[in-house]
Structure 1
Amino acid sequence: MKLADKHTPTKEVKYGKALGGFVVAVNISMLLCLVTENLFSYGAAFVSLVGTLALFFDVMITLQFILLVLEIWSRFSRLNAALQDALYPHCTELFVGASPSYRCSLLQLQKTYVALGRAADHLMSHFGLPMAFDIAFCICGATCSSYEVLVKLLSDSDVPGLSIGMPVSISEVWLALHWLRILLLSLSCAAVEDTAAATGVILIRASVVPQRRTAEFDEFLRFTLHGPRTSFSAAGFVKIDRRLIVSALTVVVTYLIILGQLTFK
């Protein structure tokens, strides 16, 4: 990412810092709320301390991964903005060849594109297995929390024999935290994938002008069309994008229906 900062303008992405601050604030708020509920609900101080530390490190690892993904997204956004500035001023100059500065700019932007793709690969090689465990933990935790909330709601109705010792507020906070992490993981990785794919779209639209087809331009376009795609996966087990939200929701609803049928029986 240092190479990307070297070859692209240091212009900040609109609402980039606000988005990162929002992600941090929401995660910390949910964590503090859950820790407070646990301390007031359980009498064993040692068990509460161990659970709090484990939850803290788990949330921090996920939060670090999300923030690094957003850093890559912001640099891809700056790359696309710089690419548009380099290409679109030449739209009216149909009979003028590309200047040397224009060719050098394209070469630098191509290096930036390759460097950001490698940064995403290195990120997943480092966080792939932890994210696989984290996604599995979130799906299992969302299923358990949903079942606890369902049992609590049914225990307050006319259904006999249903009770749960844990306060429903803890289950609700756990449920919100699990879904929040799934949403942030999926949407942040999907944003990087879409922004990286937008680079090829910009080049394809610019290729209709013959005077713009330099050797550097054709090489950049060929790499974006046939080169490796920027994507994220949890150690190869599951691809992290918007489809993960639908898959997780399907799993939770399916097992919740099964658990509900077993409970009524």
Structure 2
Amino acid sequence: MRKSQQSGFRKKTVKLILSVVFRSLEYLVLLQITTLVLELHTRFLVLNDSILTTATHHCNKHFSRILLGYVRQPDLVSQLGVDRLHHARAVLQRAAELLQRHFGVTLVLHVTTTFSALIYGAYQFLVMWVAPEKSNATVVNNSKASAATWLTSHLLHLVAVALSCSATVDEAERTRDLVVRVATLRWRPFLSAGMEPLLMQVLTSRPLSFKAAGFLTIDRRLLVTALCVTITYLVILAQISLN
């Protein structure tokens, strides 16, 4: 009897250790992806501020303020030369491509795991709330707190990745809009000659978007998709099992 208890305790300990290691690795990978995407977002933000500052210094002050909006003070902005703006934008575009190539499969696995966890977590919580007498046969863990924690953690993972990618895409699109607007301010030959390569680059290149190995796009719409999928499968599973 004592040996069986020790064996069961060892199995639980091993399962707990493996679970902690797996979740820690998952958190580290997610943190790395989110940090790199937000770093890219910061770089696009600096590029946009440099475009605004450069355009304001070489154009009519009042018209540029009306067309481009508020411009930060020059001492707070990392200014780039006009002839280097298109180089910086090309490097950022390439960095986004390499980032997606490196984490494409990881994002697919992450999104798939998150969708599965959301569906099962919602179903597990529903069974324990509506029909607790059936929970022993249909769910793995009978703890409502554990189910809520599981559901919340995966939801936060998806929200972090989706919002960081969306913010970066929005800032990249802001670069395109700013360059097109600056192109209308052709009062200084120096500005026109410097902005023309950047204008041609943003008009001919594909808009930035984060894709998980080409299977799906990571943006805010993914959150709506996750909600719809969870509700749909939750209704189906509830009708099958609870009836």
TM range (shorter): 0.7 to 0.9
Shift of residue 46, structure 1, vs aligned partner: 0.5
Give the 5 Å matches for 1:222-233. 222-233=200-211
- In structure 1, the partner of 2:16 is 48
Residue 47 of structure 2: aligned partner: 79
Q: Which residue identity is paired with 2:214?
A: G
1:228, distance to aligned residue in structure 2 (A): 2.4
Uncovered stretches (5+) of structure 2, i.e. residues with no partner: 1-9, 63-79
How high is the TM-score relative to the length of structure 1? Answer: 0.75
Alignment check: 8 A CA contact 2:47 2:89 kept: yes
Runs of 4+ in 1 over 6 A off after TM superposition: none
Asked whether 1:177 is paired with 2:153, we answer yes
Cα distance 1:179–1:196, how it changes in 2: closer, same or farther (>3 A)? same
- The answer for the alignment partner of 2:181 in structure 1 is 205
Matches for 1:207-222 after TM superposition, within 5 Å? 207-212=183-188, 214-222=192-200
Question: Is residue 65 of structure 1 aligned with residue 33 of structure 2?
Answer: yes
Structure 1 residue matching 2:43: 3-state secondary structure: helix
Instruction: Give the Cα separation in 2 of the matches to 1:112 and 1:240.
Output: 24
* Structure 1: runs of 5 or more not aligned: 1-41, 95-103
Report the Cα offset of residue 245 of structure 1: 0.8
The amino acid that maps onto 1:75 is R
Tell me which residue corresponds to 1:26: none
C-alpha RMSD of the superposition: 2.0
Deviation at 1:109, TM superposition (A): 1.5
**Mean CA deviation greater in 223-232 or 42-51:** 42-51
Find the structure with the greater CA-based Rg: 2
Write the distance in 1 (CA, Å) between the matches of 2:61 and 2:131. 74
What's 1:31 paired with?
none
User: Which whole-Å CA distance do the structure 1 matches of 2:159 and 2:36 have between them?
Assistant: 16
Native 8 Å contact 2:128 2:142 kept in 1? no
Deviation at 1:141, TM superposition (A): 0.5
Aligned equivalents of 2:51, 2:192: Cα separation in 1: 15
- Distance between the aligned counterparts of 1:148 and 1:93, measured in 2? 61
Q: How many residues align?
A: 212
Q: How many Å separate the matches in 2 of 1:191 and 1:207?
A: 25
Superimposed CA distance per residue, residues 105-162 of structure 1 (whole angstroms, 9 cap, x where no aligned partner): 1221211111011011101111000110010000100111111111111135xxx645
2:104 corresponds, among 118, 122, 128, to: 128
TM-score, length-scaled by structure 2: 0.82
One-letter amino acid matched to 2:176: G
Equivalent of residue 237 in structure 1, options 215, 235, 241 = 215
Give the 3-state SS of the residue equivalent to 2:102 in structure 1.
helix
Q: How does 1:158-173 map to 2 (within 5 A)?
A: 161-163=134-136, 164=139, 165-173=141-149
Percent of paired sites with the same residue: 29
